[in-house]
Amino acid sequence: ALTQKLEAVFKKLRGKGKLSEADVKQAMREVKLALLEADVNYKVVKDFIQKVTERAVGQEVLESLTPAQQVIKIVNDELTKLMGPKEARLNISPSKVNVVMMVGLQGSGKTTTSGKLGLYLSKKGKRPLLVAADIYRPAAIKQLQVVGEKIGLPVFTMGEQNPVNISKAAVEYASRHNNDVVIIDTAGRLHVDDELMQELINIKDAVNPDEILLVVDSMTGQDAVNVAETFHNKLQLTGLILTKLDGDTRGGAALSIKAVTGCPIKFVGMGEKLTDLEPFYPERMASRILGMGDVLSLIEKATAAIDQNKARELEEKIRKEEFTLDDFLEQLKQVRKMGSLDQILSMIPGLSPQKLQGVEFNEKELVHIEAIINSMTKEERMNPSIINGSRRRRIAMGSGTSVQDVNRLLKQFEQTKKMVKQLSELEKGRKKGRFKL
Ligand code: GDP
Ligand code: MG
C-alpha cells in the first residue's frame, strides 16, 4: 500500500513538468501521510520529510530539466540513508569459533531464523552448530532439532539445564568438532521482562558473542521498534533481523528501526521456508518501496537457486537492454523453479502482484504465458512490435488461448522491459556517479 501511494504521488509530480516549490511541498505532505499510515515512527517521518524538502526545493532541482525525477532520486537517497546507508555484514572471522547469539520475543522467529542463518552460512562454506538454549518450552528443543535435520546441520542440546552452561558447553563442543559458527537459539518471552534480560546478559557474559542479533517480527510495526530499543539498551546488539517481511506488513518497522535504534538491519526473513532469508540491502529496499521492483535481488536469487550461467546471461542482457520475450519466458520458468511465486513476482519490475490484481497470475497463468510465447516465431519474440492483429489471432489459436491473453502478455512484457531499462540506466548512472530514474 505504501508503494502504491508513493507511486501515485510521484506520478502526479511527473505529470507536471516544471515544478514550483509549492508542488514539491504538496507532494511531501502526501509522502508524509503515506509514511505515517505505513506506521513509520513519527519523529523519523518528520526528520525524513524535512531533509528531503530541504534538498528538493533547491534551485538546482526545480530548474533542472527533469525536476520530478530529481525529487524521486532524493527520496530514494534519503530512504536508503534511513535504512542503511550501506549493507551491514555479519562479523564472522575465518579460523576461529564465532559465536552468534539469537535473541528476541517469543514467536518473532528466532528458531526458524537460527536455522535459516545456519543454512545461509553453510552455503558459504561455514560449519555451523545450532544450540538449543530455549529450555522453557518443552517443544523448543525438538523444534530446533527438526530444523537442523532439515538442513543437515548438527544441533547441540543438553536438555533443560541452565542456558548459560549449555552455551558454554556448546562453544567447547564446537571447537572440538570443527564447527566454526555457534548459533545460540535463546528463549523468548511474550513481553520484555527483567528475568529474560538477565538470562541473556549472563549468556552474553559467558560466551562473549561476535554477533548478538535481535530477531523482530516486522508485522508488529512500532512495537518491533520499541522492543529493539529495549534489547539494544540491555545487550548492545550488533544487528537486527526483520522477519515476516513477506507478510502483510505496512513497512513501518523496516523504515524506522535503524533510524531509531542506530542498530543495522543485517537480514530479512521473507517466508517460512528455511531458504527464505536475504541479506538486507538498504538501496534495494528503498527501490522496492518506491515501486521499482528489485531486479538485483531477483538476479541474486536466480544465481543462488539456478543455473549460474543463465543468471549471468540475464544480468548481461538487462544491462545491455536486450531483454526479449525469450528472456521473459526464461525468467518466468526460473520463477517456477524458485518456489514462492508471489515473492518472486513482487521483485520483477512491472509484475508486482498488486499491479496484476484481477489478472490471477497463478501457476496456470504461467503455463498460458509459456504456451503463448512458444507459439510465436523467433522474429516475433525478438521484436514484439511486429505482432499485429492477425499475428495475435494466430498466436492465440496456436497456444489455445485468447487474443486478450496475448494482448495482456504483451503488455506485461512491455511494462517489465520499461522498468528493466530504467533500472539498468539507474545502474549505469550510479557507476558514473550520476543518477537518472
Ligand atoms: P521463536 O519463538 O522466536 O523461536 O519463533 P519461531 O522460529 O518458532 O517462529 C514463529 C513463527 O513464525 C513460525 O510459525 C515461523 O514459521 C514463522 N516465521 C518465522 N520467520 C518467518 C518469516 O520470515 N516469514 C513468515 N511468513 N513466517 C515466519
Ligand atoms: Mg524458538
Interval 152-179: pLDDT, tens: 999 999 999 999 999 999 999 999 999 9
Q: Are residues 40 and 126 in the same domain?
A: no
Domain that holds residue 69: 2-83
Last residue of a domain, one of 258, 289, 320: 289
Query: Does residue 93 form part of some domain?
Result: no
Q: Whose CA is nearest to atom 28 of ligand 1?
A: 272
Residue 3, annotated ligand binder?
no
Q: Are residues 64 and 152 in the same domain?
A: no
Ligand 1: which atom is nearest the Cα of residue 215?
A: 3
Q: Are residues 301 and 392 in the same domain?
A: yes
**What's 276's domain CATH number?**
3.40.50.300
Ligand 1: which atom is nearest the Cα of residue 270?
A: 23
Whole-angstrom Cα distance, residue 329 to residue 345? Answer: 13
Q: Whose CA is nearest to atom 16 of ligand 1?
A: 272
**For residue range 198-236, what is the model confidence (pLDDT) as tens digits?**
999 999 999 999 999 999 999 998 999 999 999 999 999
Q: Are residues 122 and 69 in the same domain?
A: no
Does the C-beta of 110 come closer than 6 Å to ligand 1? yes
Distance 247 CA to ligand 1 centre (A): 11
Chain position carrying cell 533547491: 58
User: Pairing relation of β-strands 128-133 and 181-186?
Assistant: parallel
Query: Does residue 345 form part of some domain?
Result: yes
Q: Are residues 268 and 360 in the same domain?
A: no
User: Pairing relation of β-strands 277-279 and 265-269?
Assistant: antiparallel
Which distant-in-sequence residues (6+ apart) come within 8 Å of 320 by Cβ?
Answer: none
**What's 393's domain CATH number?**
1.10.260.30
Query: Does residue 362 form part of some domain?
Result: yes
User: Is 373 a residue whose pLDDT tops 50?
Assistant: yes
Mean pLDDT of all residues in the chain? 84
Query: Does residue 48 form part of some domain?
Result: yes
Does the C-beta of 111 come closer than 6 Å to ligand 1? yes
- Is the pTM for the entire model greater than 0.90? no
Last residue of a domain, one of 241, 263, 289: 289
pLDDT band at 53 (very low <50, low <70, confident <90, very high): very high
User: Is 361 a residue whose pLDDT tops 60?
Assistant: no
Q: Are residues 45 and 105 in the same domain?
A: no
DSSP per position, 231-297 = HHHHH--SEEEEE-TTSS--SHHHHHHHHHH-PPEEEEE-SSSTT-EEE--HHHHHHHHTT---HHH
Mutate to test the pocket of ligand 1, among 105, 108, 111, 112 (most ligand atoms within 8 A of CB): 112
Query: Does residue 44 form part of some domain?
Result: yes
Query: Does residue 360 form part of some domain?
Result: yes
4-20 mean pLDDT: 83
Does the C-beta of 115 come closer than 6 Å to ligand 1? no
User: Pairing relation of β-strands 211-217 and 265-269?
Assistant: unpaired
**For residue range 228-274, what is the model confidence (pLDDT) as tens digits?**
999 999 999 999 999 998 877 777 888 999 999 999 999 999 999 99
Residue 108, annotated ligand binder?
yes
Query: Does residue 88 form part of some domain?
Result: no
Residue 307, annotated ligand binder?
no
Whole-angstrom Cα distance, residue 176 to residue 73? Answer: 52
Which letter does DSSP use for residue 348 in this model? Answer: S
pLDDT band at 30 (very low <50, low <70, confident <90, very high): very high
Considering every ligand atom, which ligand is closest to the CA of 219? 1
Does the C-beta of 272 come closer than 6 Å to ligand 1? yes
* Cell numbers for 242: 526483520
Whole-angstrom Cα distance, residue 166 to residue 134? Answer: 10
Whole-angstrom Cα distance, residue 30 to residue 288? Answer: 19
Q: Are residues 116 and 208 in the same domain?
A: yes
User: Is 348 a residue whose pLDDT tops 60?
Assistant: no
* Number of domains the chain contains: 3
Number of H helices, E strands in the chain: 20, 8
DSSP per position, 111-157 = HHHHHHHHHHHHHTT--EEEEEE--SSHHHHHHHHHHHHHHT--EE-
**What's 34's domain CATH number?**
1.20.120.140
Residue 292: its pLDDT value, please?
58
Q: Are residues 191 and 119 in the same domain?
A: yes
Mutate to test the pocket of ligand 1, among 272, 273, 275 (most ligand atoms within 8 A of CB): 272
- This complex has an ipTM of 0.99
Whole-angstrom Cα distance, residue 99 to residue 210? Answer: 5
DSSP 3-state of 183: strand
Q: Are residues 256 and 341 in the same domain?
A: no
pLDDT band at 364 (very low <50, low <70, confident <90, very high): low
Half-sphere exposure of 303 (CA within 13 A, CB side): 12
Q: Are residues 130 and 157 in the same domain?
A: yes
Q: Which residue has the higher pLDDT, 214 or 436?
A: 214
Distance 269 CA to ligand 1 centre (A): 9
Last residue of a domain, one of 58, 83, 108: 83
Residue 301: its pLDDT value, please?
52
Provide, rounded to the nearest whole percent, the portion of the chain with pLDDT above 90.
56
Query: Does residue 89 form part of some domain?
Result: no
Q: Are residues 325 and 277 in the same domain?
A: no
- Treating both helix axes as pointing N-terminal to C-terminal, what angle do 67-83 and 282-289 enclose, rounded to 10 degrees? 130
β-bridge mates for residue 241, sequence order: 215, 267
45-49 mean pLDDT: 96
Q: Are residues 331 and 345 in the same domain?
A: yes
